[in-house]
A and B are shown apart, each in its own frame.
Chain A
Amino acid sequence: MTAARPQRSLLCPRCRLPLPDFTEWPPENTCAACGTSFEAIAFTPTTPLVRSPVAISHAPAFGAEGASGGSEEAAGATACAQHPSHAAVANCSRCGVFVCDLCRIPLDALELCPACFDRLSREGSLAAVETQFFDASGLALTLGILGNLMSCFGIVVGPPVIFLALKGLAQRRAWREAGGRAGPIFAMVLGALQIVISIGFIALMFAGIAMNADGKKP
């Protein structure tokens, strides 16, 4: 589905083989390798992958005016803490160190230096850079379905299902997801249902035992 490696050429959406480098993209294209015809719209992104910092000839002392304003004037600018020959364009939002355009890591509303970015990433404080999550609602749904197929264990499986479904709802809220609550809510209903069925089984079992003890036929 996705590939995280750098991509140099445009690929066919079906066979993933490189497409010819069209200068003018026609509205209907056909891949020469697999024969798939597709509608394509090409874009020319202007954002550079690697920013080029502004070089300065000499750096005055830290704290000079005009360092954090992103000024294009290299003369008299404050130097980056890591690169003395680069002009600082911002301050780190966490430690306040001067950073050049190469070191600056803009993240949500923050400007971080590489050291603070590494530290916060290791701590797990940066939600925007997290890429691995636990699928609580998926597990709740699976356990909810399996638990209803084996309802005698519902009293054991049901509460974890409800807990996981609540956790899934909290995840969706934290991710600010519009909709997507049907799955966890359905899992919660399944969890509650298997608890009720399981309690019914247990009640029937005890009723049968009591009737047998009284010498009556259940």
Chain B
Amino acid sequence: MTAEPLEIGAESVERRLLARDSSLAERIRVYRRGESLEIDTSSFYRITRHRVLFEEVVLATLHRGRSWRSVLGLALVGLCLGSVVSVLTESNGGETALWIFGPPLVFSIIGYLIPDWVLSVQSRRTWTRMRFGARRTKARRVFDELVAAIRETQGRLAAERPAAPVARSPFAPPPAGELERPERPFDEPILPPPGAPAEPVEPVEPMV
């Protein structure tokens, strides 16, 4: 319909990194692009992209999390290494085990004590989670920014959306003014006046 060539798939809005997260298998980056969040999950050098649209968001949460996984993992690694060393070394096995077992345990406890601020955004189809570590101020700032943007987007769409046609039940009374009823005084009889010819009644055949 248009004469000039179209720029198909142009993503005109710049995107900005909000948070990143990583696990043993994948690295996750959450960006904000216009009225949506883009989540890039990188696993084995393959990026998979998801989007959370602000117009579909139903819940945004912010909480302080503490992860037992890192504590347990580091403590188990330290315990295994310490056990191996204490078995293999005959002299001063306990001291060596303490030197090997101690630092991972201390690091895990410090890691547990440092709060982990987590922001989650749930939409009707997708959801995403952002971890900010100990950066409470940044987590709060991003949370407030996203809440304001989601409210602005949904409010604008609600204002732009035309009113939906009202579905009417067939048993509901018709709206006022739609059905014209003839005016009839209260004293007017409903029955036919006396002397009027009666309507012929068909004879009913008896059932056999």
Contacts and interface: CB of A to CB of B under 8 A. Distances in A.
Interface stretch (B69-77, B82-90, B95-103, B125-133): B125-133
6 contacts: A4-B50, A38-B62, A41-B61, A43-B150, A45-B57, A120-B9
Interface string B111-129: 0000000101011111111
B41 A134 contact: no
Contact of B14 (A10, A135, A177): A177
A106 to B, nearest CB: 12
A214 B165 CA distance: 98
Given A2-B39, A127-B9, 5 more contacts: A1-B129, A43-B60, A45-B58, A127-B10, A130-B49
A180 interface: yes
Interface string A121-146: 00001111111111100110010000
A37 interface: yes
A3 B126 contact: yes
Contacts of A138: 27, 42, 45
B17 A126 contact: no
Nearest to A96: B1
Chain B, interface residues (CB within 8 Å), range: 35 or more
Given A45-B58, A108-B11, A177-B17, A131 B49 contact: yes
Contacts of A23: none
Interface of B: 1-2, 6-17, 21, 26-28, 31, 33, 39-42, 45-50, 55-63, 65, 118, 120, 122-129, 143, 147, 150-151, 154, 157-158, 161-162
A134 B15 contact: no
Nearest to B28: A1
Given A43-B57, A47-B56, A93-B2, A180 B17 contact: yes
A36 interface: yes
A104 to B, nearest CB: 14
B6 to A, nearest CB: 6
A135 B45 CA distance: 5
Contacts, number: 166
Contacts of B42: 135, 138
A38 B12 CA distance: 35
A39 B117 CA distance: 11
Nearest to A112: B8
Contacts of A178: 14-17
Contacts of A176: 11-15, 33
Interface of A: 1-7, 10-11, 13-14, 29, 36-47, 49, 68, 72, 91-94, 96, 107-110, 120, 125-135, 138-139, 142, 175-180
A5 B7 CA distance: 31
Contacts of A40: 59-61
Nearest to A70: B162
A151 to B, nearest CB: 23
Contacts of A1: 21, 26, 28, 39, 41, 128-129
The 8 closest A-B pairs by CB, nearest first: A38-B63, A127-B9, A13-B120, A133-B47, A135-B45, A126-B9, A46-B158, A13-B61
A120 B124 contact: no
B39 A4 contact: no
B63 A177 contact: no
